[in-house]
Amino acid sequence: MGVTTYTHEVATSVAAPRMFKALFVDSHNLLPKVIPQTIKSIEIVQGDGGDGCIKKTNYLEDGTLKYGKHKFEVVDIDNLVCKYSLIQGDVMIDKVEIVYYEAKFEVSGNGGCVCKTTCKFHTKGDYALKEEEIKEGVDKAMELFKVVEQYLLANPSVYA
């Protein structure tokens, strides 16, 4: 098994607690609402949404992905840190064993924040992830981030 680590930072003018709540605490309610063209539903299949919970994302049937399950090991609302892993699904199922994520939100000077993410891809066998495979996943995550950001900017009372 090989491990490929990728780090990424993105800034937004949305306050850190609002972005954190939208992306991690209440994602099961918000994401299907703001990106219905991609996500059919997100259900909590274990736990209450906090530490140890498992959320299953169901994608629209006309896409290449059908589902993905994420286990949230740490959902630290006070420190704005989330540690979770992709434990099951059809995302690169033939190449990746598990993916570990850590997202940290830091307050920035303009009232917004910076989201720092680290991803560790544990591949099957001796498979080495290609740069374009990682870029494709990052691009999809950034699309989701930008949609949530635009929604929160347009709705300043949500998660305030």
> Mind listing the pLDDT tens digit for each residue in 103-115?
999 999 889 999 9
The confidence score (pLDDT) of residue 151 equals 98
Question: Residue 149, SS3?
Answer: helix
**Residue 91 above 90 pLDDT?**
no
Question: Is 3.40.50.300 the CATH classification of the domain at 3-154?
Answer: no
DSSP strands (E only) in the chain: 3-12, 39-46, 53-59, 67-76, 81-89, 96-107, 113-123
**Residue 133 above 90 pLDDT?**
no
The domain limits of the chain are 3-154
The confidence score (pLDDT) of residue 117 equals 96
Q: Cα–Cα distances in Å, from 66 out to 19, 63, 90?
A: 26, 7, 7
> Mind listing the pLDDT tens digit for each residue in 57-71?
999 877 778 999 999
Please tell me the distance from the alpha carbon of residue 149 to that of residue 126, in angstroms, as a whole number. Answer: 37
Please tell me the distance from the alpha carbon of residue 160 to that of residue 156, in angstroms, as a whole number. Answer: 7
Which amino acid would we find at residue 50?
G
Buried b (16+ CB within 10 A) or exposed e, 51-77: eebbbbbebeeeeebebbbbbbeebee
- Could you tell me how far CA 4 lies from the centroid of its own chain? 18
What size, in residues, is the chain?
Answer: 160
